[in-house]
Amino acid sequence: MNKLAVFVEGYTEVVFVEKLIEEIAGETNVLIEHREIRGGGSKRRTFARVRAAKPDTGQQYFVMIIDCGGDHLVKERVLNRNQVGTRSFSSNSGSSSNLGQSRSTRAIGSRLMRAMKA
């Protein structure tokens, strides 16, 4: 299963990315999970799964959309992605991927987009 983590600034972008991915990949070919990150700095950082992915029925793609809670926090969240839980995340199928260890998130996203067009 190909995996992609997308960091966005707020809920509007979550909806946009979700619709875009479903349109490109096909709704039945992708599992999408929505998470939120809040806090950091002086407040305790919290992670919440807003919407879990539907059951794995052999979909080709898994996309985790992470709402960072503001445009000024997106870069920080991407740079600290191992604290966000995307360094090694798993889908409902139980498989895992080391996102970001040997390849950048951009390279994985590009590969996923090329695979979806094929």
Look at residue 15 in the predicted model and tell me its pLDDT. 93
Q: Whole-prediction pTM value?
A: 0.66
Look at residue 45 in the predicted model and tell me its pLDDT. 76
Angle between helices 11-25 and 105-117 (to 10 degrees): 40
Look at residue 64 in the predicted model and tell me its pLDDT. 92
Q: How many C-beta atoms lie closer than 10 Å to residue 118's C-beta?
A: 4
Look at residue 12 in the predicted model and tell me its pLDDT. 92
Kind of pairing, strands 61-67 and 2-8? Answer: parallel
At 23, phi and psi to the nearest 5? -70, -40
Counting as low any pLDDT under 70, the low residues of the chain are 81-113, 115-118
Look at residue 19 in the predicted model and tell me its pLDDT. 93
DSSP-assigned states of every residue in 76-113: HHHHTHHHHT-TEEE-TT--EEETTTSS-HHHHHHHHH
